[in-house]
Structure 1
Amino acid sequence: MFTATGMQDIPTPRALSVEEIHQTVQDFRHAAKCAIEAGADGVEIHGANAYLIQQFLATSANTRTDAYGGSIENRARFAIEIAKAIAEEIGADRTGIRFSPGTTLWGIDEGADGPELYRYLITELDKLHLSYVHIMDQGNEALLGDIRRLWTGKLILNRPSRPRENIGADVTNGLADMEAYGQMILANPDFLARLKADAPLNNADHSSFFGGSEAGYTDYPTL
């Protein structure tokens, strides 16, 4: 894994106790409170990319037999409890959440009922009136359509492999309220100007990701 002192071996994971789960929910709450006190406008809960919340969603990582494992409802419980806690602490209008349905990073596999899990999860989260849901697309257009139908708030859609000619298409077609861009904006500090001028885009330097110096972070050229 990436650390401030370089690459380190990943510790062998273990299942949290129920008491540790409850404490972790409160840790999320406290972190959100601290973020607002530090001047942030809001918090996006990271439920994507094989991080802890998605580990609870995925059958490949979650082999629990208690209230946090097994059924769709149980695997979604951790994410919902965190969203509720943060919304209570800082306000639902300051709280967003990000998911990456179908991602297989680090061996994550949400199982055959993965799409149905997200339909349930989005339905339950919609009751909290969060500021937005942010989806990193993995190519399941049917699920994206269902998420759009089930989620009544703002929907942000990120397509990592979106070709340049499709920029803006999801907003125009009504599938998303906003489109998110990561690597394109990292590599192009004048992203909007390049789009408006139909100018070439810089390519992101993957070797500089996840820490280091200004190289690959603040040194990309503008037009």
Structure 2
Amino acid sequence: MASLFEPTTFGDIELANRIVMAPLTRNRSPRAIPNDLNVTYYEQRATAGLIVTEGTPVSQQGQGYADVPGLYLPQAIDGWKKVTDAVHRRGGRIVTQIWHVGRVSHTSLQPNGGAPVAPSAIPAGSKTYVINPDGSGAFVDTSAPRALELSEIAGIVDDFRKGARAAIDAGFDGVEIHGANGYLIDQFLKSGANQRADEYGGSIQNRARFLLEVVDAVAREIGAGRVGIRLSPVTPGNGITETNPQPLFNHVVEQLGPRGLAFIHVIEGATGGDRAFFQGDKPFDYQELKDVYRKAGGTGGWLVNNGYDGDSAKEAVESGYADAVAFGKLFLANPDLVRRFKDNAPLNEADKATFYGGGAKGYTDYPALEAVVA
């Protein structure tokens, strides 16, 4: 029987424990360049078995929020190198989540003020975060997207490949491909956002094509054992919908099984919300999803996420349901979450007012257990 506090291996990545820090957008990297404050933030949380960084755009076109760090500028790679060095000095492991937001963006963030891109010209109907002329941050409606030309898709696949290479150059132990939460890969997958009539639309096989091309390009570049992918079968985030998610995602993981990936990161239910949420005519069966993946030869770590606490995470690992559990808000407010779980210690409360944008307050000033006890 495995324990939440025991080491494990995700592909070529060794984890000291099975408590994973989930990606969290924090909007504290002006000009898309990681800075010293980001270094402190991640270093504080290096006791996680694995850190998955905030979503990191692979191109300016892939950027959907102001002040998120990228991977497409030399200065950004240099900035990330300071982060990875700091985490590794403390014995931690860290991967970056490579990201293209697709339609979840604003013209002010796009190259030359252009429209965001998407599989089809269907607005997300959601919000994004921009910086006002006075320097303050604000949430605004996403801009209407344009449909990608068939000839453009290969270039975006290559942007993911280049982003993965940049991540390794920056010292990351691997990457997590962001295929969840209504961003570009999820937009291609789900019928509510994808109404294409070419080889990237229509059938389940066609809608999964873009995801698999990205996975293959990234795996060829850095090795499949350093590649994970995040999926959210039923989340409604960013206006995404799918009437029949089970066969779609069963097909996805069946195709991923033989590819030798390091891990599959599954968000159960509505991201950051109801774990029981589902789309379609019946609840989504996550055990079936895992069984399909294993039957297809998938050996990667099975990482689960959304609404877990210390007790439910222990049960998920000890029962064999999951290989590891990812935590978002709990890690945001508790840099020493592993120790707190191990000691059954009280947890800091997260300050929602400081989630997005700002400085050290609500970012690097959450007290560690020693400070709380003192």
- Note the alpha carbon deviations across 1:15-71, whole angstroms, 9 max, x for none: 111111111001101111111112111010000111111111111111111111111
Contact residue 308 and residue 327 of structure 2 kept, 8 A: no
Aligned residue for 1:3?
Answer: 130
Aligned partner of 1:93 among 206, 222, 225:
225
The structure whose residues are more often strand, as a share, is 2
Q: Cα offset for 1:161? A: 1.8
Q: Does 1:55 align with 2:187?
A: yes
Mark the runs of 5 or more structure 1 residues left unpaired by the alignment: none
| CA distance in structure 2 between the aligned counterparts of 1:95 and 1:197, rounded to whole angstroms | 32
Does residue 123 of structure 1 match 2:254? Answer: yes
CA distance in 1, matches of 2:284, 2:237: 21
Q: What is the distance in 1 between the residues matched to 2:319 and 2:284?
A: 15
Aligned pair partner of 2:336 in 177, 190, 194: 190
More helix by share: 1
* Residue 266 of structure 2, aligned match among 126, 135, 138: 135
Q: Which runs of 5+ in 2 are unaligned?
A: 1-127, 270-275, 370-374
Identity of aligned residues (%): 44
**1:87 Cα shift?**
0.3
Q: Write out aligned runs for 1:126-165 (5 A).
A: 126-138=257-269, 139=276, 143-151=285-293, 152-153=298-299, 154-158=301-305, 160-165=306-311
Whole-angstrom CA distance in 1 between matches of 2:144 and 2:251: 31
Q: Which has the higher contact order (CA 8 A, sep 6+)?
A: 2
Partner of 1:79: 211
TM-score by length of 1: 0.93
Aligned length: 221
Deviates more, 1:53-62 or 1:8-17: 8-17
Find the residue that maps to 2:304 and give its secondary structure.
strand
Q: 1:163 Cα shift?
A: 4.0
Deviations 1:94-122 (A, max 9, x none): 1110011100012110222x111000000
CA distance in 2, matches of 1:41, 1:163: 26
1:199 is displaced (CA, Å) by 1.9
Query: Is the contact between residue 100 and residue 136 of structure 1 (CA under 8 Å) also seen in structure 2?
Result: yes
RMSD (CA atoms): 1.6
Runs of 4+ in 1 over 6 A off after TM superposition: none
Task: Assess if the C-alpha contact under 8 Å between 1:4 and 1:211 holds in 2.
Answer: no
Question: Of the candidates 318, 335, 339, which is equivalent to residue 172 of structure 1?
Answer: 318
